[in-house]
Amino acid sequence: MQALKIIVVVMGLLIVIGFAVLVVGLYQKATRFDAEPEAAAAAAAFGTVRLAQPLDAEVLETSATAGRLFVRLRDSTSREWIVVLDLKTGRVLGTIEVHGQP
């Protein structure tokens, strides 16, 4: 009978410890997700970015991935290029010239 009481107490403690670990894990996941919107808000805080592109440049396409914004442009001579911007700072990281095959 004494052994049964010990087993019941140990099992009860294991259930309480397991529940505590579960609560801590859920809390850590919840706080990790809360940090992402703050990062997105900080990314939008860089203000207005003015691209120094020709006046006749037309935006064909935009795409955002991995903290970068890709803007595909074309001018009146059908020359195409892609401008790469950092979404956190708004800084132009570079330009990719697009050429057709000869």
The pLDDT of residue 87 is 85
Tokens 């009146």 -> residue: 76
Strand (E) or helix (H) holding 67:
none
Instruction: Mark whether 18 and 53 lie in a shared domain.
Output: no
Tell me the pLDDT of the chain averaged across its residues.
84
Instruction: Mark whether 34 and 12 lie in a shared domain.
Output: yes
86-99 pLDDT, tens digit per residue, is 888 888 999 999 87
Q: Has residue 34 got a pLDDT over 80?
A: no
**In which domain, by residue range, is 52 found?**
47-98
Using alpha carbons only, what angle is made at residue 45 by residues 42 and 47, rounded to the nearest 5 degrees?
Answer: 160
Instruction: Mark whether 59 and 80 lie in a shared domain.
Output: yes
Residues in the chain: 102
The pLDDT of residue 27 is 85
Instruction: Mark whether 54 and 87 lie in a shared domain.
Output: yes
**Domain count of the fold of the chain:** 2
The pLDDT of residue 82 is 94
Please tell me the distance from the alpha carbon of residue 83 to that of residue 49, in angstroms, as a whole number.
Answer: 12
The residue among 44, 59, 78 that closes a domain is 44
Instruction: Mark whether 51 and 35 lie in a shared domain.
Output: no
Please tell me the distance from the alpha carbon of residue 87 to that of residue 70, in angstroms, as a whole number.
Answer: 10
Q: Has residue 40 got a pLDDT over 80?
A: no
Instruction: Mark whether 32 and 71 lie in a shared domain.
Output: no
50-68 pLDDT, tens digit per residue, is 888 888 999 999 999 888 9
Q: Has residue 43 got a pLDDT over 70?
A: no
* DSSP class of 41: H
* pLDDT band at residue 101 under the 50/70/90 scheme: low
